[in-house]
Homo-oligomer: A and B are copies of this chain.
Amino acid sequence: MNDFTARNPDFATYITESFYRQGLMQTFGAELVTVEAGRVVIEQDFRDALLHQHGALHGGALATLLDTACGFAAVSLLPVGKGISTIEFKTAFLSPGAGTRFRITGQVLKAGRSITFAEGRAVALADKGEKLIATMTASMMTFALNPA
């Protein structure tokens, strides 16, 4: 899958800065743990601030983390001066968001000239192994960033 080549040599620095500038990622306390060409991994601790009324991770929190991972996976393949806007995503919830820590991976499937397709996986981390709890498929559009 991951035979992508980055066009911006500084993509990892650019993505790291962008990630921690997102108000919502700051709110979540999410951590960016891997940035590769076409693939981004985020980790997130279980926190009361992110739950639904039955005490598990809110589906919207998982969708947010998956969208962020897929989005930055797409950004990693952009040339300088371009940005990514999500057209749509679908998230499926295979198992409840229970656990103490979660790993969310975004992976580009196709990086077209104007449209990028990516998919995401969210797993709950545990001593006995990983459990797949949610998936995402997303499509995103490339746009020209305004010069600063």
Give the size category of A's interface with B: 35 or more
- The one of B22, B88, B89, B135 in contact with A52, judged by C-beta atoms closer than 8 angstroms, is B22
Taking Cβ atoms with an 8 Å cutoff, the residues of A that contact B are: 18-19, 21-24, 26-27, 47-54, 58-61, 63-65, 67-68, 83, 85-96, 109-110, 112, 114-115, 117, 119, 132, 135, 137, 139, 141
B87 pairs with A93, CB closer than 8 A: yes
> Could you say how many copies of this chain the assembly holds?
4
Q: Are B87 and A87 in contact (CB under 8 A)?
A: yes
Contacts of A88 on B, CB cut-off 8 Å?
A: 88, 90-93, 137, 139
Q: For the complex, what is the distance from the CA of A19 to the CA of B52, rounded to whole Å? A: 8
